[in-house]
């Protein structure tokens, strides 16, 4: 999962891009990058690390220009090489830079096709570089010295024809403008906004609405599945549907875990969706465990707080903060390796013993993936004196890998894969385990936007909306995403910084 942003401004955009990326930092902590354009020249800074660590004053001063794009990354296949930090650049045609959130499911075949048919070289293992070269080729075959609006949208249509999977993209065509587009299923989020200035209207495109409002823009709307937006060098905005048969199928896990609660995605308030998840989870507890004695509801910070609060209200049980979080430890879900994740749990959370001592505690988390975190936390609750420890998940059991840009591991590393609810309960050491029902989760999200035809719920039900995922694909994915494979991934060479130095 990654975060993207692009700004077409009337004044320097370096600071606004930086500020937007800090707001999107929760979507990726592995690497960050910004590229700006000034007088047909590009200025790039990208490296491994958090936004605050990658960009220093000397870098910001070099990021000149009124147009630019930015990216925060976490790796979907385990590599932490700075060679795969984004944005990526290709010189032909025009000079194009691109940043991408998602995952191409036919990336390997496309990379071969790019070399054999398009005569283009891909320098990394990143599917984002593959996508960039596909877009560049589709634009180059138009054969124009100056690309028209129709040429740019036709190139996006070409991307939709050739690329499979999930992708939300921002790209900058040097000297001509900024492009944003979304895959025909709308799996990954992308939204745009605007603001008025004395010099004229400015535009922003980003992964989440909070990145728009936090830097002083007003939200216009989400891009539709298959739709593209182009802001030309004069500041004129154009949109067009570029896919033949778009099907609205956004990823429901954005509402469970990834998105910030103050975001609005596809007209759905993430905060309200999580409140509804807490309400339906409380109903499930009443239905399946009517005799469960609960003294206190405690969330596992931070993502589950909203659901846990509403669950406690519905059950008329005390809600308490039982864990204090060290905010200088990254999200354990995206730690590269099981050992590091396990070690980080106790560094990250510390229990308040008074909230546990002698009590029947219901812990609430957004989901259970590997089971590493919840197992450690349940033991921490017992060590703090809890009488009984029950565990509730605001999401259903995660039984299948994600192929659309979330680094959910190989099937045999998912604790619920091939196991019953009771078996999972015993493995994590809980006295009771309650999962959200899938129908309830879908209803909680869809209530915010009834126009959504379906959600991608593949991690829960194994139904991959793009229709191109089979057993052989999942088997190959399992090899690349296992923790063992991640430890063997070599570190690639650093790419040259276009801003001329550190």
Among 490, 339, 484, smallest CA distance to 410 is for: 484
- Is 127 annotated in some ligand binding site? no
Token look-up 């692009």 returns 6
CB burial of residue 148 (10 Å; 0-12, 13-18, 19+):
exposed
Phi-psi region of 348 (alpha: psi -120 to 50; beta: other; left: phi over 0): alpha
DSSP 229-256: EEEETTS-EEEEE--SS-----BTHIII
CA distance 210 to 264: 8
- Is 365 annotated in some ligand binding site? yes
Q: Three-state SS for 218?
A: strand
Among 226, 227, 118, smallest CA distance to 466 is for: 226
CA distance 187 to 248: 8
Q: How far is CA 312 from CA 74, 325, 356, 376, 471, in A?
A: 33, 21, 16, 23, 41
Q: CA-based angle 392:396:398, to the nearest 5?
A: 110
Do 129 and 88 meet the contact criterion of CB atoms below 8 Å apart? yes
Q: What are phi and psi for residue 355, nearest 5 degrees?
A: -80, -10
Q: Which two tokens stand for residue 402?
A: 């994600």
3-state secondary structure 338-363: HHHHHHHHHHHEEECHHHCCCCEEEE
The DSSP bridge pattern shows strands 296-299 and 318-319 to be parallel
**Residues designated catalytic:** 2
* Number of CB atoms found within 10 A of residue 56's CB: 11
- Is 239 annotated in some ligand binding site? no
Q: How far is CA 226 from CA 304, 312, 467, in A?
A: 32, 40, 16
Provide the annotated binding site: 303, 365-366
Provide the annotated binding site for Mg(2+): 303, 365-366
């Amino acid at each position: 999962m990654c975060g993207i942003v692009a700004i077409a401004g009337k004044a320097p955009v370096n600071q606004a891009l930086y500020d937007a990326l800090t707001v999107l930092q929760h979507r990726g902590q592995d690497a960050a990058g910004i590229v700006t354009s000034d007088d047909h020249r590009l200025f790039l800074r990208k490296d491994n690390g958090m936004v605050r660590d990658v960009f220093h004053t000397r870098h910001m001063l070099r990021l000149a220009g009124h147009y630019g794009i930015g990216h925060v990354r976490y790796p979907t296949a385990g590599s932490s090489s700075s060679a795969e930090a984004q944005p990526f650049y290709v010189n032909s045609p025009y000079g194009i830079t691109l940043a991408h959130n998602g995952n191409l499911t036919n990336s390997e075949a496309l990379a071969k096709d790019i070399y054999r048919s398009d005569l283009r070289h891909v320098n990394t293992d990143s599917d984002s570089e593959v996508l960039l070269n596909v877009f560049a080729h589709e634009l180059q075959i138009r054969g124009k010295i100056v690309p028209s609006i129709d040429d740019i949208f036709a190139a996006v249509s070409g991307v939709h024809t050739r690329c499979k999977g999930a992708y939300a993209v921002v790209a900058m065509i040097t000297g001509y403008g900024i492009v944003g587009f979304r895959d025909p299923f709308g799996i990954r989020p992308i939204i745009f906004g605007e603001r008025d200035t004395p010099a004229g209207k400015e535009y922003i495109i980003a992964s989440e609405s909070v990145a728009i409002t936090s830097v002083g823009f007003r939200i216009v709307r989400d891009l539709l599945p298959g739709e593209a937006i182009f802001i030309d060098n004069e500041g004129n905005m154009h949109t067009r549907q570029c896919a033949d048969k778009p099907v609205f199928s956004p990823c429901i896990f954005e509402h469970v875990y990834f998105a910030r609660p103050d975001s609005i995605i596809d007209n759905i308030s993430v905060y309200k969706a999580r409140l509804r998840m807490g309400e339906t989870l409380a109903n499930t507890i009443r239905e399946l465990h009517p005799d469960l004695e609960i003294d206190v509801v405690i969330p596992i910070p931070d993502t589950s707080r909203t659901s846990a609060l509403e669950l406690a209200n519905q059950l008329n049980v005390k809600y308490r903060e039982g864990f204090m979080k060290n905010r200088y430890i990254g999200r354990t879900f995206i730690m590269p390796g099981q050992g590091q994740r396990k070690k980080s749990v106790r560094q990250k959370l510390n229990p308040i013993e008074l909230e546990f001592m002698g009590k029947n505690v219901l812990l609430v988390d957004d989901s259970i993936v590997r089971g590493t975190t919840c197992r450690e936390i349940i033991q921490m609750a017992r060590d703090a004196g809890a009488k009984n420890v029950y565990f509730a998940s605001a999401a259903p059991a995660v039984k299948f890998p994600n192929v659309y840009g979330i680094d959910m591991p190989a099937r045999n590393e998912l604790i619920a894969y091939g196991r019953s609810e009771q078996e999972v309960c015993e493995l994590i050491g809980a006295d009771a385990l309650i999962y959200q029902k899938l129908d309830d989760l879908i209803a909680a999200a869809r209530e915010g936007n009834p126009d959504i035809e379906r959600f991608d719920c593949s991690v829960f039900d194994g139904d991959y909306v793009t229709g191109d995922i089979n057993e052989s694909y999942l088997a190959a994915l399992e090899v690349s995403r296992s923790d063992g494979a991640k430890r063997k991934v070599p570190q690639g060479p650093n790419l040259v910084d276009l801003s001329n130095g550190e």
